[in-house]
């Protein structure tokens, strides 16, 4: 699985980092980031949940 996070769409809601803190974080401005080395998705279930939780669908997952 590959994670893409569109920073142009992200509004910094932080849901991704709350749901899957092993994979997502928030940068200094509050926008979501994928942690280095976690672009492959880490634990898939939480990543899928995080993508669902994002209020603006900034996270896309490729199988
Ligand atoms: S949940 Fe979505 S809008 Fe919120 S920080 Fe993560 S990617 Fe950005």
What is the reported pLDDT for 55? Answer: 98
- Largest Cα separation within the chain, whole Å, is 30
Position 57 confidence tier, pLDDT thresholds 50, 70, 90: very high
pLDDT, mean over the chain: 94
- What is the average pLDDT across 14-22? 96
Which phi-psi region, left, alpha or beta, contains residue 61 (left: φ > 0; alpha: ψ -120 to 50)? beta
Ligand 1 centroid to Cα of residue 55, in Å, is 7
Report the percentage of the chain scoring pLDDT > 90. 86
Atom of ligand 1 nearest to the CA of 59: 7
In ligand 1, the atom with minimum distance to the C-alpha of 24 is 6
Our answer on whether the CB atom of 16 is closer than 6 Å to any ligand 1 atom is yes
Q: What is the pLDDT, as a whole number, of residue 41?
A: 77
């Amino acid at each position: 699985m590959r994670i893409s996070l569109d920073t142009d769409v992200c509004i910094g809601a932080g849901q991704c980092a709350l749901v899957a803190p092993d994979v997502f974080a928030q940068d200094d401005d509050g926008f979501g980031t994928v942690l280095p080395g976690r672009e492959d998705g880490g634990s898939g279930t939480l990543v899928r949940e995080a993508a669902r939780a994002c209020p603006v669908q900034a996270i896309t997952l490729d199988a």
